[in-house]
Structure 1
Amino acid sequence: MGKRCLIFGAGDFEGLYGPVREDDFLIAADGGYRYAVEQGLFPHLVLGDFDSLGSVPQHPHVVQVPVEKDDTDMMLAVKLALERGYRHMVLYGGLGGARIDHTLANLQTLLYAARRGAAAYLVGRGAVITAVSGGTLSFPSGFAGYLSVFAMGPDAEGVTLRGLKYELHNGSLSAGFPLGVSNEFTGRAAEISVAQGDLLVTWSLENPVIF
């Protein structure tokens, strides 16, 4: 799989999904620093404007940025991870919280990573969410429950869903109609691919970790 980066944001946090590996690189984005520390973790890097945390933490590697900026703290963390060569990221604290706009921004952040050849997974609220951009997402056999697929931006073309209850072969999904909601795993190996365009895919945390 290659090296992995874990990013902690300031949204709702309900615990870790799978173990932290020895070679994981940990970034805390603003208030996510508190979550990491509560889990007994010491981030390698802390960044943000620290409006959520309320103060700049005492840490040897802090990147402080202005409150008025173009990027969210989570986006800055993803950009930094990409610059350091990470192509697998797990984002915690990116859903819920007091501001729905940050949740929506984090969904766009997933797409930003996918369009640059990286796989970023947003974890929380009982679900995993990731983006697929002109590529393929595979699941091993044994997965259960619901899975939903949404087009992002222009309509997604050449969409294929295999191994699911409702299959699709070289079809289209529109960003203006939720046709891909509430599909289901069948226990077989499954695959989602898109030839042109971008997809958001979400499934239950009750399934095994694939990243």
Structure 2
Amino acid sequence: MSKQAFIILMGGPLTPTDRLATQLAGARVIAADGGMRHASALGLKPELWVGDFDSTPDALIAEWPDVRREPYPAAKSETDGEIAVATALERGAKRLILAGALGGERSDHAFMHLLYAAKLAEDGIEMLLTSGEEEAYPLLPGSSVIALPKGSLFSILGLDTLTGLSIEGARYPLRDFHLPFGSSRTVSNVAEGTVRFTLSSGRALILARPHDFSGA
């Protein structure tokens, strides 16, 4: 993987899998506050650890004495994750993997990560959000391809009305489809392998469950 790829370790749940290890291989790493707890299980050593450290126990700090920490005040205008992303962009990131960005107790944080990823994708940054069990990808006008295991579940959630939506390589393909905002029409599809998406206008999120074959 290119050195322009960065992993941001975030505080949500993260399950190590072979697929996740492949996705993370070769990328540089920045930890955001309590997301550092994932580093050992993933065999990663961040080059920087940022945040207000309000969710970082002393034992975790003691475990990583040689990782540079950059503290921020608790009263700030950005989340620790956004600070970590901004730091990665300053260091030349062109691809970001937000590991631990989905699920957990703070649904506000998880939803904000999804919206922020869509905004970053509009700025030309390649994005992947993952919990190990679930993955999210922004879907913008144009074409994109995602390699998913045959029989695994995925859904498309529109952030506004979608036009010209086509899906190939899925059990329920679509061609030049108009998806109204708020429609559930594209929830619970099944990948037949690599899935190709084409979109004329609108913004959406692809949520994939690469280890979930309940729809197979």
TM-score (norm. length: structure 2):
0.83
Q: Which runs of 5+ in 2 are unaligned?
A: none
Among residues 106, 113, 123, which one is paired with 1:116 in the alignment?
Answer: 123
Determine the structure 2 residue equivalent to 1:179.
185
Separation in 2 of the partners of 1:30 and 1:141?
A: 31
Q: Which runs of 5+ in 1 are unaligned?
A: none
Aligned residues: 204
Determine the structure 2 residue equivalent to 1:43.
46
Cα distance change on mapping 1:80 and 1:156 into 2, 3 Å:
farther
TM-score (norm. length: structure 1):
0.84
Determine the structure 2 residue equivalent to 1:52.
55
Separation in 2 of the partners of 1:61 and 1:141?
A: 36
Determine the structure 2 residue equivalent to 1:143.
150
Cα displacement (A) at 1:79: 2.4
Give the 3-state SS of the residue equivalent to 2:15 in structure 1. coil
Cα displacement (A) at 1:118: 1.4
Cα distance change on mapping 1:68 and 1:195 into 2, 3 Å:
farther
User: What is the root-mean-square deviation in Å for CA atoms of aligned residues?
Assistant: 2.4
Among residues 54, 76, 82, which one is paired with 1:75 in the alignment?
Answer: 82
Separation in 1 of the partners of 2:44 and 2:147?
A: 30
Amino acid at match of 1:9: M
Q: What's the % identity of the aligned pairs?
A: 28
Amino acid at match of 1:195: S
**Does the CA contact (< 8 Å) of 1:12 and 1:96 recur in 2?**
yes
Deviations 1:147-168 (A, max 9, x none): 111111x312222212222222
Determine the structure 2 residue equivalent to 1:198.
203
